[in-house]
Amino acid sequence: MGPLKGVRVLDLSRMLPVGVLSQLLADLGADVVKVERPGVGEEGRGFGAPVAGTSATHAFLDRGKKSVALDLKHPHGLAVVHSLVAQADVVLESFRPGVAERLGVGYDDLRALNPNLVYCSVNGYGTGGPRDQEPGHDMNYLSYAGAMHFGGTKAHGPQPGGIQVADLLGGLTGGIGLLAALLAVRSGAPGTRVEVALADAALWALGLHVSSWMAGGDAAGPESTAVTGAGPAYRVYRCADGRYLSVAAIEPQFWAQFVTAVERPDLIARQHDPSAIEEVAALVATQELAHWTKLLDGLETCVSPVQDFSEVAADEQFQARGMFVPVPGQDEVLQVGNPIKLSDPLPTPSPASALVGGDTEAVLAGLDLPPEVRRSALAWATTTNDRGEESR
């Protein structure tokens, strides 16, 4: 059933930050209705390998959600949204500030229809401030908040990461905020608006380092702290076969275990000595990755291989944790599961709708709509999409 069974969520968003938020809510049992643009649908439908009649990205992000195709700029589309809001507990949106209000789906508009509504906005720079109308993506927010300057290396400067950190943190913190607001409503408080700016989330992720600097600590930059490679104990080292070994032996006991195991106990006292970096790098480069992982297996060294996706998929740890699950409706294909583990198993999600607006008719069945509004909504669900396929 899931702990969020009975919680009704209307998702008006596009792209990753709120997409991953509503995925987690759906995984936990919430009834999530996702509004997509007629014919075109969510951008994720075109990303990733084909799977289950759609794409791997869409199958992952939108599992467990119902798809409704609506034109929010059309009065009939707005009428359907307002009817859904009257029954909803949560609305999610990711528009730039002011856009939702122009469309008639702003917080004040929807609160008038449902005073207990929790309205969650996740956007780039938040409401207010000179940048609130600027477009952006994950790397822009990380750059603006100082994360790109703080990471990278002195030799190569800032580098894009492999994970959309600001997007994911924005979605997750938005989720915590809306669940807190939902608990308050269940305790008798009125509904409220929750807002998370992705740039703010990126800055919050740097809170330890920025707060230390603001208290008079050293200026942060690439390879300037214990966790950005200032010393030999927290680095990624290249092995003889071109593979990589990550060493994160920050605590003295882990560093001592590591250098003793690799027969360099003389380095115990040089854990924070930058000049020892080249010595460790030269040592690791003498052997292949498999040699080091076998040598260090079972020792408390905080050392790990840098694995590729094929190794991750075969990894016994992730398999034991149930982190790979079948794509709903296509059991022979796997996708990443939910990291939240409860004592009771989570419900099996329904497949992501292969068709833009594929659940429109079922969702509309529970609404009291004028006939002309219903006809418009059903027509949007049969619109030919950009790829020349019928969405119904």
| pLDDT score of 177 more than 60 | yes
pLDDT band per the 50, 70, 90 thresholds, residue 226 = confident
List the one residue out of 284, 132, 101 whose CA is nearest residue 198.
Answer: 132
List the one residue out of 66, 185, 22 whose CA is nearest residue 114.
Answer: 185
CB 58 within 8 A of CB 208: no
| Res 231: pLDDT | 95
| Res 220: pLDDT | 76
Distance CA 365, CA 64 (A): 19
Residue 150: Cβ within 10 Å count: 20
| Res 166: pLDDT | 97
CB 183 within 8 A of CB 125: no
In this predicted model, what pLDDT tens digit does every residue of 51-87 receive, in sequence order? 988 899 999 999 999 999 999 999 999 999 999 999 9
List the one residue out of 154, 129, 156 whose CA is nearest residue 144.
Answer: 129
Instruction: State the pTM of this model.
Output: 0.94
Give the number of C-alpha atoms closer than 13 A to the C-alpha of residue 68, restricted to the C-beta side. Answer: 26
Q: What is the mean pLDDT of residues 154-173?
A: 92
β-strands 65-69, 31-36 pairing: parallel
Show Cβ contacts of residue 237 under 8 Å, excluding neighbours closer than 6 positions. Answer: 244, 245, 246, 247, 280, 281, 284, 285
Distance CA 331, CA 40 (A): 27
| Res 391: pLDDT | 33
Place of tokens 């291989």: 305
| Res 66: pLDDT | 98
Distance CA 334, CA 40 (A): 26
Strand, helix or coil at 327?
strand
Residue 52: Cβ within 10 Å count: 18
CB 281 within 8 A of CB 275: no
H helices of 187-334, where?
198-205, 207-214, 252-261, 277-284, 289-296, 309-314, 316-320
Q: What is the mean pLDDT of residues 305-311?
A: 97
Residue 54: Cβ within 10 Å count: 24
| pLDDT score of 139 more than 60 | yes
| pLDDT score of 386 more than 50 | no
